[in-house]
Amino acid sequence: MSEPTMRSPLHSFGLEEQAKPIDGSCGVWANEIPHLGYISLRGNGTDPAFVTAASTSLGVSLPLRPCTFASSNGITILWLSPDEWMIVCPRAQLSALLGSLRHALTDVRSQVVDNSGGYTQVIIEGPNALDVLQHVSVYDFAGLEPGRVVGTTFGKSSVYAFRQGEGYRVVIRRSFADYIWRYLVRAAVPYGLGIADLAGSRVTEEGVPA
């Protein structure tokens, strides 16, 4: 019996084979950052016991300001609502983080859920990256400041987007990944789309600047 194979939501597009170093030949560069861990954390953001336990366990201070995120040591925490955060981490750290969080929050009203199978992340860079984002979303990405995260829509699907490094990161649901990728590709036609080599864009498969 063959061993199970982990496939990213966009594996059928063959992006890894098409990837090349970023240069001046295209106005937009994009790629999937595959196989990350995604943890849904829920709790009372005004409860010091919850905030302290979660922050200590993660090694990153839980962002409490609306629509902000925090990153450190390969972990990114997105504020989604006053009682919900999304933790994005390298897949290799997922099991340890889940165990650490659940142990730390044993006596605190909270919820920790592994949603890794339900999401993926796309990086969008280049001189016309903002133009493409303005085409596909109703949100004014020109006003998205570094350190801020926004929940918005791309066409008919909801996404979470934030600026990091020299580009944008878009967290998308697995069930809409194919639709959103095709939507982005179509919007990028006037500018030229290149598939970015992740190392060339200074992004590791952990989803953070290298």
**Per-10-residue mean pLDDT, the chain, length 210:** 76 94 95 97 97 96 97 95 97 96 96 96 96 96 94 95 92 96 97 90 47
Domain finish residue from 116, 138, 154: 116
Residues 59 and 111 in one domain: yes
pLDDT of residue 210: 39
Residues 54 and 150 in one domain: no
| Residue bearing tokens 């959103």 | 180
Q: What domain range is 77 assigned to?
A: 36-116
Least Cα distance to 161 among 80, 73, 40, 61 occurs for 80
Predicted TM-score (pTM) of the model is: 0.91
pLDDT of residue 71: 94
pLDDT of residue 206: 45
Task: Check which CATH number belongs to the domain holding 164 and give it.
Answer: 3.30.1360.120
Domain finish residue from 100, 116, 132: 116
Residues 147 and 172 in one domain: yes
Residues 106 and 143 in one domain: no
Residues 75 and 107 in one domain: yes
Give how far the C-alpha of residue 121 lies from the chain's centroid of Cα atoms, to the nearest Å: 4
As a whole number of angstroms, the distance between CA 144 and CA 203 comes to 20
Q: Strands, E, within 66-191: which ranges?
A: 69-72, 75-81, 84-90, 110-114, 119-125, 149-154, 157-164, 167-173
| Residue bearing tokens 């498969």 | 205
Query: Is 16 among the domain residues?
Result: yes
Domain finish residue from 90, 116, 142: 116
pLDDT of residue 6: 80
- Number of domains the chain is built from: 2
